[in-house]
């Protein structure tokens, strides 16, 4: 395969540079607009061979693991550390703009609410056994190869400083050669570590892992495939005034700052509502904040998350009433007639979105809707349903909590 000289014109949706070659786009990782390069081209993919001349948008990556020439090259955790932050912010905002336009939605999308390096409190590592120890890091892009890391530019300083500990614990848990995931949540009371693996631990394995955890003062809890092995103290997160202990491996927002930014937009929009329903409520990220001034009904399909919210609310005084319902909204969305007593509605679904639920919301008379999403494509689809049902889209704000990746949150506010 011969080297081809290319000029990068723009960033693609996954953060690859895009050039034109023989009338078709070629996507080249680790390149920036304006770069003049040589690359090995196969169909629409290019592999960077050399950088002949950098473009003006190119920046020095802050992490030694990033890029084809980095330490343990291309760890796969980030894809766009190599561009300046101005271009990065506009590119990420553009992902939301493009998704909305694909559904015929025209609105002046707000500037990106930025993320900061060292802000990610929730990180999911890949790990596997390696000799007497373990390799821990991220999968190289497009492969199952785990790239071992010694630092991380996105994770909180506490997570970075504890990487040797996590590798030691992974070595105890990696009793089979198959790779596993190690979720780490940096909470007020210590690390909440959740292993997910395609194998089980024997009793001696469990005892070794528990013994290693007992020696680590910074570990609050360890679970394996959903089962709590040790909880030295409950992992704690503050949602507004309420302290919640999430269940093992439960969804939480990856960044505390991003969570606060989303909550502020939601709370402002719900200000005039007396009763609010919070759909896909999780452990109560928005519910507990809403309860400071609104009668709130929280609906969530994952029972342990609802139970965590219930326990937290029982310990808290001075809030408005919060009722809770365990319900799979994908299978049984709240019907329009069930929504008639609410003046505000918040929904924050998984990446698949809330299509069937939005069809019912569109039939309702709820005056105010706040839609929170981690997937611009399904958000745009759901907003189209609501707009066609008589809602007016007032604003869309993209929020970055997955720095240097193509993933972007957004909060959309609507009125009937």
On whether both 282 and 350 belong to a single domain, the answer is: yes
Which CATH number goes with the domain that contains 149? 2.40.50.1070
Radius of gyration of the chain (CA): 23
- Binding-site residues for S-adenosyl-L-methionine, in ranges, read 253, 280, 300, 348
pLDDT in tens, 17-32: 999 998 899 999 999 9
**Mean pLDDT, rounded, of the chain:** 95
Give the strands of the sheet with 133-139, arranged side by side.
146-148, 133-139, 122-130, 180-187, 190-196, 219-224, 227-231
Report whether pLDDT(394) > 90.
yes
Check residue 336 and report its DSSP letter. Answer: G
pLDDT of residue 127 exceeding 70 = yes
pLDDT digits (tens, 9 = 90+) for 224-245: 999 999 999 999 999 988 999 9
CATH number at residue 10: 2.40.50.140
Q: Are 206 and 233 in contact (CB under 8 A)?
A: no
- Residue 301 in domain: yes
Across the range 79-97, mean pLDDT stands at: 96
Q: What pLDDT shows up at residue 412?
A: 98
What local confidence, expressed as pLDDT, does residue 1 receive?
58
Rounded CA-CA distance 388/413 in Å is: 15
- pLDDT score of 71: 62
pLDDT (tens digit, 9 = 90+) per residue, 37-78? 999 999 899 999 999 999 999 999 999 999 887 666 678 889
Question: Has residue 290 got a pLDDT over 70?
Answer: yes
* pLDDT tens profile 264-288: 999 999 999 999 999 999 999 999 9
Are 301 and 371 within one domain? yes
Statement to judge: residues 408 and 262 lie in one domain: yes
192 and 291 in a common domain: no
pLDDT at 249: 85
Domain around 364: 92-116+255-415
CA distance 8 to 26: 9
pTM given for the model: 0.94
pLDDT class of 2 with cuts at 50, 70, 90 = low
pLDDT above 80 (res 11): yes
Q: Which residues are catalytic?
A: 374
CA torsion angle for 371, 375, 380, 381 (degrees, to 10)? -100
Number of domains, the chain: 3
Of residues 142 and 163, more confidently modeled: 163
Provide the token pair at 237. Answer: 């997160």
One domain for residues 135 and 7: no
Identify the residue with better confidence: 317 or 384.
384
Q: Write down the pLDDT at residue 29.
A: 93
Average pLDDT over residues 178-207: 96
Strands 36-42 and 392-399: what pairing?
unpaired
Q: Provide the pairing of β-strand 146-148 with 133-139.
A: antiparallel
Whether residue 177 sits in one domain with residue 265: no
Token output for 116? 């900061």
- 294 lies in some domain: yes
And the tokens for 139?
């999968």
């Amino acid at each position: 395969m011969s080297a081809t000289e290319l000029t990068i014109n723009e960033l693609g949706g996954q953060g690859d540079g895009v050039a034109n070659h023989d009338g078709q786009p070629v996507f080249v990782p680790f390149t920036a607009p304006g770069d003049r390069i040589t690359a090995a081209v196969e169909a629409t993919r290019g592999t960077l061979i050399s950088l002949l001349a950098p473009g003006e948008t190119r920046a020095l990556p802050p992490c030694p693991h990033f890029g084809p020439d980095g330490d343990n090259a291309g760890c796969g955790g980030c894809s766009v550390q190599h561009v300046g932050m101005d271009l990065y912010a506009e590119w990420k905002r553009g992902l939301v703009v493009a998704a909305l336009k694909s559904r015929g939605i025209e609105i002046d999308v707000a500037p990106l609410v930025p993320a900061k390096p060292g802000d990610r409190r929730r990180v999911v590592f890949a790990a596997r056994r390696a000799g007497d120890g373990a390799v821990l890091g991220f999968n190289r892009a497009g492969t199952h190869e785990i790239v071992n890391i010694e630092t991380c530019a996105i994770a909180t300083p506490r997570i970075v400083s504890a990487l040797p500990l996590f590798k030691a614990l992974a070595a105890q848990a990696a009793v089979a050669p198959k790779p596993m995931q190690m979720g780490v949540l940096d909470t007020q009371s210590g690390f909440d570590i959740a292993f997910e693996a395609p194998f089980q631990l024997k009793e001696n394995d469990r005892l070794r892992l528990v013994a290693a955890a007992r020696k680590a003062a910074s570990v609050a809890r360890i679970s394996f495939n959903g089962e709590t092995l040790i909880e030295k103290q409950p992992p704690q997160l503050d949602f507004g005034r309420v302290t919640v202990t999430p269940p093992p491996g439960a969804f939480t927002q990856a960044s505390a700052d991003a969570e606060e930014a989303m909550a502020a937009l939601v709370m402002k929009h719900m200000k005039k509502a007396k009763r609010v329903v919070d759909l896909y409520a999780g452990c109560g990220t928005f519910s507990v904040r809403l309860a400071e001034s609104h009668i709130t009904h929280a609906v969530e399909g994952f029972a342990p998350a609802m139970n965590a919210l219930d326990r937290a609310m029982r310990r808290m005084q001075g809030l408005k009433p919060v009722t809770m319902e365990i319900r799979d909204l994908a299978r049984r969305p709240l019907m329009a007639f069930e929504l008639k007593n609410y003046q505000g509605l918040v929904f924050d679904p998984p990446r698949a979105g809330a299509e069937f639920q939005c069809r019912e919301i569109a039939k309702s008379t709820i005056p105010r809707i706040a839609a929170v999403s981690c997937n611009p494509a399904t958000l745009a689809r759901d907003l189209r349903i609501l707009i066609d049902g008589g809602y007016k889209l007032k604003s869309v704000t993209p929020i970055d909590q997955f720095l240097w990746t193509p993933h972007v949150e957004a909060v959309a506010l609507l009125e009937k």
